[in-house]
Amino acid sequence: MKAVVYEKYGFPDILELKELPRPEPGSDQVLIKVLAASVNKADWHLLTGDPFPVRLMAGLTKPKNKVLGADVVGVVERIGSNVTQFKIGDEVYGDLSGTGFGAFAEYALTNENQLAQKPSNLTYEQTAALPMAAITALQGLRDKGKIREDDEVLINGASGGVGGFAIQVAKAFGAQVTAVCSTDKMCAASEQGADLVIDYKRVDFIKGDKQYDLVFDVIGNHGISDLSKILKPKGRYVTCAFSMSLALLGPWYKVRQGKQFINLMASNSSSDLKTIARLAEEGCITPRIQRVYTLDDVPEALQYMANGGMEGKLVVTI
Ligand SMILES: NC(=O)c1ccc[n+]([C@@H]2O[C@H](COP(=O)([O-])OP(=O)(O)OC[C@H]3O[C@@H](n4cnc5c(N)ncnc54)[C@H](OP(=O)(O)O)[C@@H]3O)[C@@H](O)[C@H]2O)c1
């Protein structure tokens, strides 16, 4: 099978399109014929081995797994003897980050608990845009942020992969959403359902008097004392941009002010994939695709993402 392979840490120019043996599923595994994948920051961290703690899991001096790609959609090609949820020919989607990545290839392996049936109303490309980014938004808002109907929610970094889904998920929960993004992406944020949009290039949301029940932050560019001022009493702040000061000072703010500061580490699950598929089928979530690439162009896609200024997701068709 064709796969985009890397043997050492580096930048996109070290990626090579190679022939690899097609993997065989173990007893709990599903072999997927990949139809589309998408690009995430996690792929970049694994490619570069940066930040360094990534290497503690991915391989100290060189990567243990040679093929990147977490988000996957495809058709079940073969199943292991213990697999009960899927049969050959099922259209499935999921996130391979918990089982060694590998979506930038013609075939990929994972466990059945990392997959769900593809949403019936979306294309393969749209479906590939969903898993990691939409699950991060869902877990950040619902599980960590305890979002409730009519909550006033601010989403910082609302124009990228995670932020775009966060607007849509928050609206699906009946929240009032303020989106923070750059000038040229304000329309896109409104189209995705934001009730109010703040242009961060002109206004610093931290300086206003407005307070929120919940702040979901994809960027993490403000300090905890500033953030506490824009939270209502018992307000929640959740970030997917890990912050050490939050981890250290968050408990103190909880005791003193009753406000919660939470670092999110999202993880894939079959049940959350099913929830996302249901939200897509109900029309609550529509992925926004910025560009579509082929397998040969994966290095270009990764570089494009790393350059910044994303407006939705980059998808790879196989
Ligand atoms: N913890 C977890 O489990 C988890 C899971 C998934 C992702 N993540 C992390 O979440 C972050 C975002 O991921 P993503 O896929 O959404 O990235 P992305 O697609 O690159 O989106 C980032 C967005 O933020 C905007 N932006 C940049 N600077 C900003 C600022 N100062 N204020 C407001 N918006 C700004 C960018 O557009 P402009 O530059 O045009 O403004 C871009 O649209 C990454 O750091 C990723 O590693 C964490």
Residue 41 CB less than 6 A away from ligand 1: yes
Nearest-atom index, ligand 1, CA of 156: 33
- The fold of the 132-263 domain, in CATH, is Rossmann fold (3.40.50)
Alpha-carbon torsion 44, 46, 48, 52, what sign?
positive
Class of domain 2-130+287-317: alpha beta
Q: What pLDDT, in 10s, does the model give residues 42-63? A: 999 999 999 999 999 999 999 9
Alpha-carbon torsion 75, 116, 292, 1, what sign?
negative
> CATH topology of 2-130+287-317 equal to that of 132-263?
no
Nearest-atom index, ligand 1, CA of 221: 31
Distance 246 CA to ligand 1 centre (A): 18
Distance 79 CA to ligand 1 centre (A): 36
Is the pLDDT assigned to residue 208 strictly greater than 90?
Answer: no
Distance 87 CA to ligand 1 centre (A): 36
Is the pLDDT assigned to residue 282 strictly greater than 90?
Answer: yes
Nearest-atom index, ligand 1, CA of 40: 15
pLDDT at residue 29, as a whole number? 98
Which amino acid, one-letter code, is at 195? D
The 3-class secondary structure across the chain, one letter per residue, is CEEEECCCCCCHHHCEEEECCCCCCCCCEEEEEEEEEECCHHHHHHHHCCCCHHHHHHCCCCCCCCECCCEEEEEEEEECCCCCCCCCCCEEEEEHHHHCCCCCECEEEEEHHHEEECCCCCCHHHHHCCHHHHHHHHHHHHHHCCCCCCCEEEEECCCCHHHHHHHHHHHHCCCEEEEEECHHHHHHHHHCCCCEEEECCCCCHHHCCCCEEEEEECCCCCCHHHHHHCEEEEEEEEECCCCHHHHHHHHHHHHHHCCEEEECCCCCCHHHHHHHHHHHHCCCCCCCEEEEEEHHHHHHHHHHHHHCCCCCEEEEEC
Distance (Å, whole) CA 259 – CA 188: 31
Q: Where are the domains of the chain?
A: 2-130+287-317, 132-263
Distance 157 CA to ligand 1 centre (A): 6
CA 63 to chain centre: 22
Rg, C-alpha atoms of the chain: 20
Distance (Å, whole) CA 302 – CA 42: 10
pLDDT at residue 266, as a whole number? 97
Q: Which of 156, 177, 181 is nearest to 167 (CA)?
A: 177
Residue 53 CB less than 6 A away from ligand 1: no
Q: What percent of the chain has pLDDT over 90?
A: 99
Taking the whole predicted model, whether its pTM rises above 0.95 is answered as yes
Nearest-atom index, ligand 1, CA of 310: 43
User: What average pLDDT score do residues 186-201 get?
Assistant: 97
Is the pLDDT assigned to residue 223 strictly greater than 90?
Answer: yes
CA atoms within 13 A on the CB side of 311: 14
Task: Write the burial class of residue 105 (CB in 10 Å: 0-12 exposed, 13-18 middle, 19+ buried).
Answer: buried
Residue 96 CB less than 6 A away from ligand 1: no
